[in-house]
Structure 1
């Protein structure tokens, strides 16, 4: 394996590079497989761009797949705020039996598509407010969004997760948009990703000396927890009051929090917290990429609109669990947007046994980065990769488009450790894209070459001045 020094992350040719650029340049310099040595208490990372390795690594996982968690989050919950979390630190940073216990409790509630659909009506209420907000804030002449439209997308995604996790709207889109909590929580969530990249992935001595950056992260976690736990406490009180009055006893749209409280109170609170933490920037960045791709391809957008008109004859026609079943082109557009604008480079895995990767013997417990999101945008693996072609995902179009390797497209990871919020995010994206395209002609009349920057995930780097013109009928 080719080894190189951690100092390249800060010095020389890699100084101030984004993570995606860093991966791309190291690959060109060192080849398809290279080892990034650990340091300051971190394990080494093995990077592979060899597609043949992906299935081998993933299929070698055991019952409880191991993965590096976010160590600063783990420290915050196990040490810094142990009195709040006890022995339940959440799915992100736990492994082995502790992880398995939480995951087995959560899977029946979040991972089954039929359960996710129970939240459709609540999400539609949030989406109604978002469409109304667009009409309020667009420029009356140009019909473009203001420079800070990214914040509006964050408000949408936070509210959408809140109705699932807590069964309530916080009101940050319109009703309570001037709440002091709003700006604080969105700024703090963005800092969470920035500081996690610096402390958990780049060289840092915080395990030996508590650096100013580490202290900022602990304070930032405290701020996030304080605001979100307040919402959780309010939701719990409402649940208790409803139980006392026998209200909603047969309501199938109970929140994730309410369902999990019957299983384990600590797990319920941590899962609600993590859903709200993880579901904002990740989903809004994904939605941004999808909208950019659709806006820059008006012919594909019109094809999507015609499909939507078959189930939504009027702009204000209702989406239902029944009519959403037959929207193949919508789902193809979403997949293709995610392919073109992934929010990360790939998937991190830990070997549960000794395996051979690209001809090299790799020992058990070695961490491996599978860079599938980089390969899926290369001609070798995805013909006409620079073009937005939703048809490549349609069954009846497969004769015209070479099928992609299933281990290339893994936006929610793969297997037992796939994203626990996958079903919720998919539904949120489907609702939002469907209603935006049915109501508006969406344009983006600016360059998109450098539309994203990388912190820990990709986030918008340009003003999102989308133009929303009304569809006539």
Structure 2
């Protein structure tokens, strides 16, 4: 009898807990839906909104119109293309598009106006939303400058800025050239003979190897050998990418909530962090008492570690605190993460655009001939730039190609958390309340907006070379934001530009890189998905979080005629 009473008491306790969870769930849903209804009552432009489902039906239409692996980033341009469907009275999307997609995530405000974006990135540096910190936490345990705020960020961000400066990267250019030369040689090795193309392969695999090796040289001045050791025996590379895999599982709603964060996955995260810590700690210790780099080249680590004295309790000893070392390791891992993935994907999309616009490729080749000499041999170009690194900054058309690629294919966005009572004022002079909404800078919508970009969907590197007053001149400030804006912009912008230019210099005049979907379909057989296209293109942006090219962008290579 007593046992029965205990069981009933336990069941009542469980039922009470479940009831509390359900009530909290319903209350949060009601609060999100009510916030949007309140905005609509104020006369603000609002997407068609369901009191039960919010804006989830619109996301469902987006998903239905696209392949199942489409990246949510494409939603921005899709919504802009369907503006008249959802905002019949507007020629373009409103400066702020409110999105109620709870419970997938919190409510977001998609900001499509550069004037409004600058208000929370430049005029006031609002903190990032906690979802960014949650994504990086398995890798950095919340100790990285990418997600920290306040005084900690103000202390640590300046410690890494000098390492990514143009001046310092120019000193490191020979090491970066060495890695890009290996990349160019690998492409040449898989090229066909004569006029024939070589076998099909995912270009993203090679570009990822390249960018991981480059960031290793820039941050640590060590050879990671991702390009030359294909045995996958390197513990850092293998561990690092396994950690990213787990981070993406945790972030994905379907996987992360339903099957993610099991004890064995948490154990794998901890094991990966130990492995990376054991790899990086000796690099710190080796440089801690070494001044051999002074007056010569300095890596990101070298320049950051100079501040160890300022963190010592008495300001006199050159021994780092445990917190200093942990934060340094967290930021090195962040640099490895941010420094390889987006650049690797950008190389793929850049090659896609040069394939589609062969006249632009010919202009690049002519520029390289004029600046670096008519000898197209990559070894010759590498030698010229090693001797005269300033010539890399004398390639305006190549830089235009890079900027146009990043305009048409931005791969990252900032999302900020506003304080209570915060408003944004767009170029339309409308005041948009931001309570309960994360501020999502819409780089895809802004960078293809007809109001800011003449011929917005065309690949026109020339727009970056014309003077003010020219019809192509991008006259609206802050309308190019692939690296975000303000003090929290991407610290690796200069490194990305350098790396992308070097890839062009060492490949454009000797190789032809073409998509190879037919060969890919034969290779993959039943696993191929030829019906998956976006705007008629097999190559599109995929991923649940990070943006990657579909199937790694299958290509084949042939030698330039």
| TM-score of the two chains, using structure 1 as the length reference | 0.82
- Separation in 2 of the partners of 1:6 and 1:225? 39
Q: Distance in 1 between matches of 2:347 and 2:499?
A: 9
Aligned to 1:308, which of 343, 346, 368? 368
From the CA coordinates, give the structure whose radius of gyration is larger: 2
Question: Compared with structure 1, are the counterparts of its residues 49 and 74 closer, same or farther at alpha carbon in structure 2 (3 Å cutoff)?
Answer: closer
Equivalence for 1:81: none
Give CA-to-partner distance per residue, 1:248-283, whole Å, 9 cap, x none: 344622321232223244232222111112222211
Measured in 1, the distance between the counterparts of 2:241 and 2:282 equals 23
Q: Quote the Cα distance in structure 2 between the aligned partners of 1:92 and 1:196.
A: 19
Cα offset, 1:379, TM superposition: 3.9
Structure 2 residue corresponding to 1:191, chosen from 245, 250, 255 = 245
- 1:66 maps to 127
Displacement, 1:47? 1.9
Q: Does 1:55 align with 2:118?
A: yes
Contact 1:77 1:89 in 2 (8 A): no
- Report the alpha carbon displacement of residue 420 of structure 1 after superposing the two structures with TM: 1.4
* 1:127 to 2:127 alignment: no
* Runs of 4+ in structure 1 over 6 Å off: none
Superposed displacement of residue 220, structure 1 = 5.9
- Cα distance in 2 for residues equivalent to 1:286 and 1:409: 15
Q: Residue 336 of structure 1: SS of its match in structure 2? A: helix
- Return closer, same or farther for 1:382/1:185 CA change in 2, 3 Å cut-off: farther
Change (3 A) 1:309 1:218: farther
Partner of 2:35: none
Whether 1:150 aligns to 2:204 is: yes
1:259 and 1:402 map into 2 onto residues whose CA distance is 38
> In structure 2, the residue corresponding to 1:441 is in which secondary structure?
strand
Matches within 5 A, 1:172-183: 172-175=226-229, 177-179=231-233, 181=235
Give the structure 1 partner of residue 402 of structure 2.
Answer: 334
Of 294, 298, 301, the residue aligned with 2:358 is: 298
2:440 and 2:227 mapped to 1: Cα distance? 37
The aligned residue for residue 375 of structure 1 is: 446
Separation in 2, partners of 1:334, 1:303:
13
Deviation at 1:307, TM superposition (A): 0.7
The match for 2:107 is: 44
Q: 1:157 to 1:114 in 2, by over 3 A?
A: same
Task: Give runs of aligned pairs for residues 313-392 of structure 1, distance below 5 A.
Answer: 313=373, 314=375, 315=377, 316-317=379-380, 318=383, 319=385, 320-344=388-412, 346-351=413-418, 354-358=422-426, 359-363=430-434, 366-392=437-463
Residue in 2 that maps onto 1:258:
302
| 1:135-193 Cα distance to aligned partner (Å, 9 max, x none) | 22334474345323321111101000000111011111014644254773475365256
Deviation at 1:449, TM superposition (A): 4.9
Aligned: 1:232 with 2:280: yes
3-state DSSP class of the match of 2:124?
A: coil
Q: How many residues align?
A: 449
- Cα offset, 1:365, TM superposition: 8.0
Distance of 1:39 and 1:151 partners within structure 2: 35
| Residue in structure 1 matched with residue 23 of structure 2 by the alignment | none
Equivalences for residues 5-154 of structure 1 within 5 A: 5=53, 8=56, 12-15=60-63, 16=68, 18-24=71-77, 28=83, 30-31=86-87, 32=94, 33-37=96-100, 43-62=106-125, 65-69=126-130, 70-73=132-135, 75-76=137-138, 89-110=143-164, 112-140=165-193, 142-144=196-198, 146-154=200-208
Is 2:238 aligned against 1:167? no
Distance 1:250 1:60 in 2: 37
Summarize deviations over 1:30-87 as a string: whole Å, max 9, x none.
543343347569643222334543334434414xx31114242465479xxxxxx6xx
Match of 1:288 in 2: 348
Contact 1:37/1:45 (8 A) holds in 2: yes
Measured against aligned partners, the alpha-carbon deviations of 1:94-128 in whole angstroms (never above 9, x if no partner) come to 11112211112222332x21122222111111112
Distance change (3 Å), C-alpha of 1:99 and 1:235? same
Q: Is the 8 A contact 2:211 2:344 kept in 1?
A: yes
**Structure 1 counterpart of 2:521:** none
State the SS of the aligned residue for 2:542. strand
RMSD in angstroms over aligned alpha carbons?
Answer: 3.4
Quick check: 1:466 aligned with 2:555? yes
Go from structure 1 to structure 2 and tell me whether the alpha carbon gap of 1:325 and 1:59 turns closer, same or farther (over 3 Å shift): closer
Separation in 2 of the partners of 1:397 and 1:36?
A: 36
SS where residue 252 of structure 2 aligns? Answer: helix
CA shift at 1:198, angstroms?
A: 1.8
